[in-house]
Chain A
Amino acid sequence: DAKTTQPTSMDCAEGRAANLPCNHSTISGNEYVYWYRQIHSQGPQYIIHGLKNNETNEMASLIITEDRKSSTLILPHATLRDTAVYYCIVRVTGYSSASKIIFGSGTRLSIRP
């Protein structure tokens, strides 16, 4: 699976949009971009994933650049409960490639009141 690069930490004011960047310059054509987060002492939580089109769900939006070498996770209205470590992961998926997710160091996001 391709390597990703994320800032070690970020902070954001409560109520503002939190934009978390991720670089994945060696991503392959069949690799998806996934985002998970881990709130302190809890199990990781799936947020969103995409291949090349921008995606949005009830939790967040995922913006993938046209060359797919980077992406941004957007939490539109951050709350204190969004304080967590956010992981950007790229991996191949498919019937014959169900495989482990390798977590990097992630970005520690702190939301300021």
Chain B
Amino acid sequence: NAGVMQNPRHLVRRRGQEARLRCSPMKGHSHVYWYRQLPEEGLKFMVYLQKENIIDESGMPKERFSAEFPKEGPSILRIQQVVRGDSAAYFCASSTETTNEKLFFGSGTQLSVL
């Protein structure tokens, strides 16, 4: 049973470009969470999605950031017109819809904005 898969592992973008980060949850998991970790800082919650629904986006910046989790395919975190401050590690986690759900994390995508 493969774990949470994130790709790419490393992504380099120039200022103003778009970044697309993908997350394939574990098999059977219908909940996806995105977190951001700036250099030398803690993990900050961004958004929580179920299939085709955004449940909690209280941690998402108001502009340039969006997330989706379609019925088929991976969850996508999209950052438009990237700026240097977007450089960070972005982690995705998934869980089942059970009572004591544990979150399983991917290895992350390291985004570097030049």
A→B interface (CB under 8 Å): 32, 34, 36, 38, 41-46, 49, 93-95, 98-106
B→A interface (CB under 8 Å): 4, 31, 33, 35, 42-45, 48, 55-56, 59, 89, 91, 93, 95, 97, 99-108
| Prevailing SS type, chain B contact patch | strand
5 of the cross-chain contacts (CB-CB < 8 Å) are: A42-B107, A43-B108, A44-B43, A45-B105, A103-B42
A65 to B82, CA, bound (A): 47
**Given A38-B43, A94-B99, A43 and B48 touching (CB < 8 A)?**
no
B95-A98 in contact (CB<8A): yes
| Residue among B33, B35, B42, B100 making CB contact with A104, cutoff 8 Å | B42
A100-B42 in contact (CB<8A): no
A45 to B3, CA, bound (A): 12
List residues of chain B with CB within 8 A of the CB of A32.
100
The 9 closest A-B pairs by CB, nearest first: A43-B105, A103-B43, A100-B45, A46-B102, A44-B105, A43-B91, A100-B48, A93-B100, A43-B106
